Homo-oligomer: A and B are copies of this chain.
Amino acid sequence: MVFHYPNGHPSHYNEASKQKMQGKDKSINFANRGMRFEDAINQSNDYYRNHNLAVIHKKPIPLQIVKVDYPKRSAAVIREAYFKEASTTDYNGVYKGYYLDFEAKETKNKTSFPLKNFHEHQIAHMEKCMEQDGLCFVLLWFSSLKRCFFLDSKQLVYYWRNKENQKKSMPITTIEKNAIEIQPKIAPRIPYLEAVDQYLQAKEKN
């Protein structure tokens, strides 16, 4: 079998503009490869798609378009638009008949994952998807530790809805106990479908 390395991914205007917008450099090197976590996820999605293993896409960032110019004989140009808050999670798609829906987040912290990384509308969206038997989860990246976890959204929602925990953070010990650790590799960078398989197997047993 020929081993395909993932193609170099074009630079993401979305990420770049979002970073700039927030006025701070959020680039945390991904496993010393000069790559951000989100880029690693996008490359993994490309890998899975190109190998016909799953069809997962990142959704475009929603924008409120206010003004568009229509120059003669050339493409329409958006001249005024604003970033809008998304009403869903960033990623969804299909894998072996399962509806997958997830969010990928990173922290520089070493001992816990701050819950402020998530928003109420994302939690509400995951709850609605789980009601429809969607497979919802979050991928958590501890950039300082270079450790990645697959956490079932049920765990996150349970933790989030517990008032004592709100706006606090989830200790890494809790994550280690309840999540599935993912070992980053070359291709795909974040082999999260292995964690999905492991999760489904454990679910079948119960």
Contact = CB atoms under 8 A, between A and B. Distances in A.
A82 to B, nearest CB: 6
Interface of A: 13-14, 17, 20-21, 23, 49, 52, 54-55, 57, 59-66, 68, 70, 75-83, 86-88, 92-99, 101, 125, 128-129, 131-134
Give the number of times this chain occurs in the complex, counting copies.
2
Contact of A128 (B14, B49, B75, B92): B49
At the interface, is chain A mostly helix, strand, loop or mixed?
mixed
Given A17-B65, A94-B134, 19 more contacts: A17-B76, A20-B68, A20-B76, A49-B128, A52-B128, A55-B125, A55-B129, A63-B78, A75-B82, A76-B82, A77-B80, A77-B81, A78-B80, A78-B82, A92-B92, A94-B99, A96-B133, A97-B132, A97-B134
A77 B79 CA distance: 9
Query: Would you list the 7 A-B pairs with minimal beta carbon distance, nearest first?
Result: A97-B133, A94-B99, A94-B134, A60-B62, A78-B81, A99-B99, A21-B76
